[in-house]
């Protein structure tokens, strides 16, 4: 078994840098805080920062793993000079709470990351978009903002000249989608925009070029600028450098947040970080990156958690939400749980999304209740196939992928439900 690689003081560490008294500006500065911002403004300049981030290989931690520098570069190339930056800490996907922890454990690091990114893309206004349920974290961030402003890092007359504003996300999953986020910042409902033509890098906030980056992506930026791309590359894999804050949940003994180098195996995260499966049971399945990426069976537990390796294996790193299911889990119930989540969270703007997710949930519920037929199993598969790619955002496709992958790997469980006329693992049908 691969040994857990414990991060040391010298490593890229998002969570460890300022774990003691995270609001302390002095503590942050003692550990190299704000060196990156000063270096960006005084010596590297926008193109120098972009090149350092490019060389570092940093990829987005918000779900898609898009190279961070590329998004910045798209905005930098726009003729329009009024630009915006949004930091995405909406975070409402099941099993994900890493950004919450970063807001709490290292707010100055995130502020510095936002300021460096805004400076690089030429945005003199940036928004911190934070889940409305994260009340304490928002208050924490507000205090850190007050302190960093007083220290002269942002605001009118500061060296950066950037203004920062906290914006409350309504606490719905879809509000984290980048164009829905822009709608909320502009004061409207969280409903994704049509892409094309409304790509944020071209027509973003108030129609201006806008970068939307995840809070964890931005938290990585101060280290890269301060220590250089090579230092960042020294941890993780060449194609997936750095660390990721994995949110480990489900049937493990010690669920929680674990920052590990990218490329750490799933088995290491489950067995060493999570101390194995609850009640000595064996592993059945894992969502390695949240429920919007395909589930994998226990036989694939030696896969490494990195962007390209998981993609090649037919799944994805997503948000790094590792959701573990033991042999005691009913996979039809698991499918219902996520299908219902997506149905409830669908904003209703695209009929195939609301109707499709509700329809899929209803057939699954029929199967779980023991009233399904083999035709219903086929219908679940066909419905997933039919709705994929038909919504304005990825929510509908993510829903279809979750259900389809569960059915793909655990079809026998669906057939057992139909054959037995009941759930073999439960005496109670799901409510």
Ligand X SMILES: Cc1cc2nc3c(=O)[nH]c(=O)nc-3n(C[C@H](O)[C@H](O)[C@H](O)COP(=O)(O)O)c2cc1C
171 closest CA partner among 162, 180, 159:
180
| String marking each residue 154-173 x if it binds ligand X according to CB under 6 A | -------------------x
CB 95 within 8 A of CB 247: yes
Q: Applying CB under 6 A, does 90 fall inside the site for ligand X?
A: yes
Closest CA to 332 of 367, 283, 358, 362: 367
Of 33, 107, 122, 176, the one binding ligand X (CB under 6 A) is 176
Nearer to ligand X, 176 or 261 (CB): 176
Cβ(102)–Cβ(245) under 8 Å? yes
395 lies in the binding site for ligand X (CB under 6 A): yes
Q: Output the smallest distance, CB 213 to ligand X, in A.
A: 4
Find the binder of ligand X among 13, 15, 78, 88 (CB under 6 A): 88
Radius of gyration of the chain (CA): 22
> How many CB atoms sit inside 10 A of residue 255's CB?
19
**DSSP assignments along 262-320, one per residue:** TT-BHHIIIIIIS-SBGGGPPEEEEEBTBTTS--EEGGGTT-B-SHHHHHHTT---TT-
Tell which positions 125-144 bind ligand X, by CB under 6 A: none
Question: How, if at all, do strands 243-250 and 210-214 pair?
Answer: unpaired
Q: Closer CB to ligand X, residue 348 or residue 424?
A: 348
Q: Does 63 bind ligand X (CB under 6 A)?
A: yes
What is the size of the binding site for ligand X (CB under 6 A)? 22
- Please report how close the Cβ of residue 192 comes to ligand X at its closest, in angstroms: 7
> Smaller CB distance to ligand X: residue 63 or 241?
63
Q: Is 178 in the site for ligand X (CB under 6 A)?
A: yes
Instruction: Establish if 214 lies at the interface with ligand X (CB under 6 A).
Output: yes
Whether the CB-CB separation of 251 and 328 falls below 8 Å is answered with yes
Q: Which of 62, 94, 107, 204 binds ligand X (CB under 6 A)?
A: 62
Q: Which of 11, 91, 125, 271 binds ligand X (CB under 6 A)?
A: 91
- Using alpha carbons, list the distances in angstroms from residue 170 to 12, 45, 214, 217, 358: 32, 36, 17, 22, 22
Residues that bind ligand X (CB under 6 A): 60-64, 66, 88, 90-92, 173-174, 176-178, 212-214, 217, 393-395
């Amino acid at each position: 078994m691969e040994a857990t690689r414990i991060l040391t003081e010298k490593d890229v560490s998002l969570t460890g840098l300022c774990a003691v008294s995270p609001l302390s500006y002095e503590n942050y500065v003692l550990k190299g805080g704000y060196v990156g911002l000063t270096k960006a403004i005084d010596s590297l300049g926008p193109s120098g920062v972009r090149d350092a981030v490019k060389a570092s290989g940093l990829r987005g931690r918000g779900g898609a793993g898009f190279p961070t520098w590329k998004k910045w570069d798209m905005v930098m190339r726009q003729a329009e000079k009024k630009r915006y930056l949004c930091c995405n800490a909406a975070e409402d996907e099941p099993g994900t709470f890493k950004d919450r922890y970063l807001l709490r454990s290292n707010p100055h690091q995130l502020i510095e990351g936002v300021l460096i990114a805004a400076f690089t893309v030429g945005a003199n206004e940036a928004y911190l978009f934070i889940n409305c349920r994260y009340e304490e974290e928002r208050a924490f961030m507000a205090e850190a903002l007050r302190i960093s402003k007083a220290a002269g890092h942002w605001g009118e007359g500061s060296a950066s000249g950037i203004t920062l504003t906290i914006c409350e996300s309504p606490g719905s999953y879809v509000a984290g989608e980048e164009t829905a986020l822009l709608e909320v910042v502009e004061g409207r409902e969280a409903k994704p925009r049509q892409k094309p033509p409304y790509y944020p890098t071209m027509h973003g906030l108030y129609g201006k070029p806008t970068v939307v980056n995840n809070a964890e992506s931005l938290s990585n930026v101060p280290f890269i600028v301060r220590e250089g791309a090579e230092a960042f590359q020294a941890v993780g894999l060449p194609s997936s450098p750095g660390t990721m804050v994995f949110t480990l949940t489900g049937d493990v003994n010690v669920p929680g947040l674990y920052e590990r180098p990218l490329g750490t195996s799933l088995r290491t995260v489950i067995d060493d970080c999570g101390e194995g499966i609850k009640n000595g049971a064996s592993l059945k399945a894992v969502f390695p990156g949240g429920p919007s990426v395909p589930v994998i069976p226990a036989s694939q537990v030696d896969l490494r958690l990195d962007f390209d390796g998981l993609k090649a294996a037919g799944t994805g790193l997503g948000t790094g939400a590792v959701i573990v299911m033991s042999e005691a889990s009913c996979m039809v119930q698991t499918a219902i749980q996520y299908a219902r989540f997506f149905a409830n969270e669908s904003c209703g703007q695209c009929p195939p999304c609301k109707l499709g997710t509700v329809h899929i949930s209803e057939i699954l519920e029929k199967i779980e209740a023991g009233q399904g037929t083999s035709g219903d199993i086929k219908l679940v598969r066909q419905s997933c196939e039919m709705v994929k790619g038909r919504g304005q955002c990825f929510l509908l496709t993510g829903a279809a992928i979750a259900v389809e992958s569960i059915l793909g790997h655990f079809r026998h469980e669906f057939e057992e439900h139909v054959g037995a006329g009941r759930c073999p693992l439960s005496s109670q049908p799901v409510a």
